[in-house]
Amino acid sequence: MLYLDNRPLNPTRRAAANGPDRFFQWRGFFDDTSDLDDIVQVVEKEFETQGESDHIDRYFLLPGRSNTITTLCDNETLEVHTMVSTDGPIEKWERSVKTTFPMKRTTASIIGTYVPKFRGSCSSVASAETLTDALSKKSRYYEAKVARRHFERNGVTAEVETVDVAGKSKISIVLRGDCPNKVKSEVDSLGLQAGENTHFGAYLNDL
């Protein structure tokens, strides 16, 4: 049993906000080929546009734990994502933590529960800058420039991203939703390949 301030800490507690705690996902990374252009054109034409955004994302990965991804977005929001399971080509993920700065003490403790090596670095007095400095010394650290376009159809969100990291530029397509069958249906309808499903942690580890 885990304890916080002498009280039992429920290991199933979910601290995520502003979205589903758990979701199903397919992601691929590609060079900008003509085949991919055709897929992007279908998304642009047949999905509903939800907007676009640019980000500087910082990723912290522990050796051998690419399925747990700690991300700092624009020095404003810290998230911890963990892959729960895979079902064929679709992965099930959990957003365990989503927080802004300054962090609450309880949130900092929850981060330490999911990523024990980060426990000492995460505190209510940590800023984005000091946390980046501390976590980068304890993990494999990557900084990515991400231009993201958002779309939606049939309860599935689609994101088309240009990802620049470690001197490499890739196009990433992400399909995400609450229902694995709906996500799988969109993977099939777009002609994407199950074997190309690659989450961000696996992609970064292969750089």
Tell whether 45 is covered by a domain: yes
* Separation between Cα atoms, residue 180 and residue 34, nearest integer Å: 28
Tell whether 2 is covered by a domain: no
Over residues 125-163, the pLDDT tens digits come to 889 999 999 999 999 999 999 999 999 999 999 999 999
pLDDT of residue 35: 75
> How many domains does the chain fold into?
1
Q: Cα-flanking dihedrals φ and ψ of residue 14, to 5°? A: -115, 130
Tell whether 11 is covered by a domain: no
Tell whether 75 is covered by a domain: yes
Which residues constitute the domain of residue 150?
A: 19-205
- Beta-bridged to residue 157, according to DSSP, are 152, 176
pLDDT of residue 5: 40
Tell whether 133 is covered by a domain: yes
Tell whether 12 is covered by a domain: no
Give the pTM: 0.85
* Separation between Cα atoms, residue 159 and residue 161, nearest integer Å: 6
* Separation between Cα atoms, residue 82 and residue 44, nearest integer Å: 29
CATH number for the domain spanning 114: value is: 2.40.320.10
pLDDT of residue 44: 96
Over residues 79-98, the pLDDT tens digits come to 999 999 887 789 999 998 99
* In the predicted structure, residue 19 carries a pLDDT above the cut 80: no
